[in-house]
Amino acid sequence: MPGDFDAATAVRFRGGDLDAGPVTYDAEVMPGWDILGNANGGYLMAIAARAMADAAGRPPLTLTAHYLSPGSVGSHTIEVGRVRAGRRLATMTGSLVNADTGREVIRLLGSFGSSDPDGPFRVDAAPPDIPAYDDCLIDTDGDDPNAQPLPELQRRLAMRLAPDSVGFRSGAPVGRAEVSGWFAFADDSLIDEFGLMLAADAFPPAVFNSGLPVSWVPTVEMTVHLRGLPAPGPLATVFRTRFISGGMLEEDGEVWDSAGNLVALSRQLALAPRPI
Amino acid sequence: MPGDFDAATAVRFRGGDLDAGPVTYDAEVMPGWDILGNANGGYLMAIAARAMADAAGRPPLTLTAHYLSPGSVGSHTIEVGRVRAGRRLATMTGSLVNADTGREVIRLLGSFGSSDPDGPFRVDAAPPDIPAYDDCLIDTDGDDPNAQPLPELQRRLAMRLAPDSVGFRSGAPVGRAEVSGWFAFADDSLIDEFGLMLAADAFPPAVFNSGLPVSWVPTVEMTVHLRGLPAPGPLATVFRTRFISGGMLEEDGEVWDSAGNLVALSRQLALAPRPI
């Protein structure tokens, strides 16, 4: 039986011939993967990525999405084009469109192919220094009447925020634009490349912990590098924003598996609107 | 009079109507912006970006290029499509094609718009700690008979590598995948958003200083965030590779201007081929 996330990101080939032009897939954006009604950006990327990977016949290595309009529950179509298919890589375009409104939600460009486990190996970094999963906080609404409501999305996930990262929920941000914690599915499903895209965008924005009065961080663009399939178990993640300037901010993410391997790097550019 | 780089990245509108579909530009990939005959990836991105920005009527904010085939000197066409034009942002596609061979060289996706100098400002980072421009090394072939030949590209630039960063040229890499130094044009032209794309890809690969026997680092994808127009003067840059795994490596770049402001963030995913 597929896990909740697999079912919620399923795509169905509708038709077309890649040799002649774009092909089309159908998908449903499902309820429960949203924040205040807007579907999560990593979730939307995962749906489109599934169609692109299916058409490419290979898993994603690097995928960029530009966010054009909010995603909402309902029928969507994904148009997938092939830019080039070589021996090692296939480069594909994607477009996720709301079938009811006709509005394009995200446009994508990515390269697909298999990683090479026998290639050179050197890592000059370490997993984030966060307490063990069981010692991190279950992220619930809790008893604090001043706490911000928990997004619906979190009910599908068994995420745990590091103790340093939860301050913003009760108006006591740590004063550094950083959020770290553990990512897992509530139904304990294994996490594949598509789940990593959700992991890269499921945590509260790091800037919420900066102390700046920023309440809304619309993503312009997100790029995720998929660096390997995770070993089973919760993923250790850390997200940082170093530069809030020019009306924009970046958020850099690292996702590490339980075996201590980096499995995804993410970076997004978001608008940093002035406080209301 | 335009500077060398402006002239070497000029584009001419050929025809089309964005409201009806893609529009076309002509450009020449010029000699002297290459490494062993392959046009520099940042240079190619800048040519395509000029056409995309012209069609968008706005400067680039974030641009992603996927590298499909080597760029070589000669006539090229750029096809530019508009995904969406909103009040704040325009999202555009681009495709740079060699006009002689018909081969596509790079495919691009980006968002264009103006930055907001009055937005919130917070920076939790500092420019790279490198010696002053005049104290860094002029990067010439020098007298060392074992030194690697200097790419033609460097003759167009007044780059200076930090003393820590030049070891790889004489077989003495510092043992850390990092390269830092100063970027400027040899003709002292001002550097705009398009010049920043070159700055993000003009330095020797950081992995050359790792000590791993990697001689060739083909870029799969590069994304550049343009965070502001540089103040006049050389740009301080640093490039780091932290993860060499799965047959791939990322390279993260920071570009800072003479006023101490971050002006570009770059990240690329490259293949890490096994040593020959």
DSSP letters of A131-149? --GGGSEE----S-TTSPP
Which pLDDT band, with edges at 50, 70 and 90, does A139 fall under? low
Q: How far apart are CA A166 and CA A169, in angstroms?
A: 6
Q: Is residue A127 part of a domain?
A: no
Cβ neighbours of B125 in A, within 8 Å: 242-243
Q: What per-residue confidence (pLDDT) applies to A115?
A: 85
Mutant choice from B62, B212, B215 vs A, greatest count of A C-beta within 10 A: B62
Helical residues (DSSP H) of chain A, grouped into ranges: 4-8, 41-56, 193-199
Return mean pLDDT, chain A.
92
Q: Nearest chain A Cα to B83, which residue?
A: A107
Q: Do residues B4 and B58 touch, judged by C-beta distance below 8 A?
A: no
Nearest to A122 among B118, B212, B248 (CB): B212
Cβ neighbours of A273 in B, within 8 Å: 119
Q: Which residues pair with A268 in a beta bridge?
A: A222, A251
Closest chain B C-alpha to A274 CA, distance in angstroms: 6
Closest chain B C-alpha to A262 CA, distance in angstroms: 8
Q: Is residue A34 part of a domain?
A: yes
Dihedral, CA atoms, B103, B105, B111, B113, nearest 10 degrees? Answer: -100
Nearest to A123 among B111, B245, B272 (CB): B245
Which residues, other chains included, contact B73 with Cβ-Cβ below 8 Å and sequence gap of 6+?
B29, B30, B31, B34, B39
Q: Nearest chain A Cα to B229, which residue?
A: A246
Q: How many domains does chain B have?
A: 2
The DSSP H or E segment spanning B72 is none
Cβ neighbours of A225 in B, within 8 Å: 248, 250, 267, 269
* Residues A137 and A220 both lie in one domain: yes
* Residues B249 and B153 both lie in one domain: yes
Q: Is residue B126 part of a domain?
A: no
Q: How far apart are CA B235 and CA B225, in angstroms?
A: 16
Q: Nearest chain B Cα to A88, which residue?
A: B271
Q: Do residues A263 and A200 touch, judged by C-beta distance below 8 A?
A: no
Q: Which residues pair with B238 in a beta bridge?
A: B180, B254
Which residue, B112, B144, B177, sits at the end of a domain? B112
Q: What per-residue confidence (pLDDT) applies to B2?
A: 72
Q: Do residues B122 and B70 touch, judged by C-beta distance below 8 A?
A: no
User: Domain with B244 in it: what CATH number?
Assistant: 2.40.160.210
Return mean pLDDT, chain B.
92
Which residue, B56, B78, B112, sits at the end of a domain? B112
Over the stretch B257-270, which tens digit does the pLDDT of each residue have?
999 999 999 999 99
Which pLDDT band, with edges at 50, 70 and 90, does B140 fall under? low
* Residues B145 and B257 both lie in one domain: yes
Q: Is residue A117 part of a domain?
A: no
Tally A–B CB contacts below 8 A: 189
> Can you tell me which residue has the tokens 């264009």?
B112
Q: What per-residue confidence (pLDDT) applies to B16?
A: 97
Q: How far apart are CA A58 and CA A50, in angstroms?
A: 10
Q: What per-residue confidence (pLDDT) applies to A140?
A: 56
* Residues B105 and B142 both lie in one domain: no
Q: Nearest chain A Cα to B88, which residue?
A: A271
SS3 B239: strand
User: Domain with B92 in it: what CATH number?
Assistant: 3.10.129.10
* Residues A137 and A265 both lie in one domain: yes
Cβ neighbours of B217 in A, within 8 Å: none
> Once rounded to an integer, what is the mean pLDDT over residues B78-102?
97
Dihedral, CA atoms, A253, B69, A49, A241, nearest 10 degrees? Answer: 20
How many angstroms separate the Cα of B171 from the Cα of each of B148, B182, B211? Answer: 9, 22, 9
Cβ neighbours of A22 in B, within 8 Å: none
Tokens of A171: 């108006």
User: Above 80 in pLDDT, residue A1?
Assistant: no
Cβ neighbours of B215 in A, within 8 Å: none
Question: Among the listed ranges B181-185, B229-233, B271-275, which one has the minimum average pLDDT value?
Answer: B271-275
Q: What per-residue confidence (pLDDT) applies to A175?
A: 92
Q: Do residues A266 and A200 touch, judged by C-beta distance below 8 A?
A: yes
Q: Is residue B93 part of a domain?
A: yes
Residue A63: give the domain boundaries.
4-112
Q: Do residues B223 and B63 touch, judged by C-beta distance below 8 A?
A: yes
DSSP annotation of A176 reads S
Q: Is residue A118 part of a domain?
A: no
* Residues A161 and A211 both lie in one domain: yes
* Residues B168 and B231 both lie in one domain: yes
* Residues B158 and B254 both lie in one domain: yes
Nearest to A124 among B177, B223, B246 (CB): B177
Q: What per-residue confidence (pLDDT) applies to B116?
A: 85
Q: How far apart are CA B5 and CA B11, in angstroms?
A: 12
How many angstroms separate the Cα of A102 from the Cα of each of A105, A163, A190, B98, B110? Answer: 9, 43, 34, 34, 22
Over the stretch A49-74, which tens digit does the pLDDT of each residue have?
999 999 999 999 999 999 999 999 99
Q: What per-residue confidence (pLDDT) applies to A255?
A: 98
* Residues B139 and B246 both lie in one domain: yes
Over the stretch A194-212, which tens digit does the pLDDT of each residue have?
999 999 999 999 999 998 8
Tokens of A269: 């550019």
Mutant choice from A52, A63, A91 vs B, greatest count of B C-beta within 10 A: A91
Q: What per-residue confidence (pLDDT) applies to B273?
A: 72
Q: Is residue B127 part of a domain?
A: no
Q: Is residue A234 part of a domain?
A: yes
User: Above 70 in pLDDT, residue B141?
Assistant: no
Over the stretch B65-77, which tens digit does the pLDDT of each residue have?
999 999 999 999 9
Nearest to B119 among A110, A116, A274 (CB): A274
pTM of the model: 0.96
* Residues A160 and A50 both lie in one domain: no
Nearest to A245 among B68, B123, B246 (CB): B123
* Residues A92 and A150 both lie in one domain: no
User: Above 60 in pLDDT, residue A90?
Assistant: yes
Percent of residues, chain B, with pLDDT higher than 70: 94
Q: What per-residue confidence (pLDDT) applies to A24?
A: 98
* Residues B146 and B255 both lie in one domain: yes
Nearest to A247 among B91, B119, B225 (CB): B119
Q: How far apart are CA A264 and CA A269, in angstroms?
A: 17
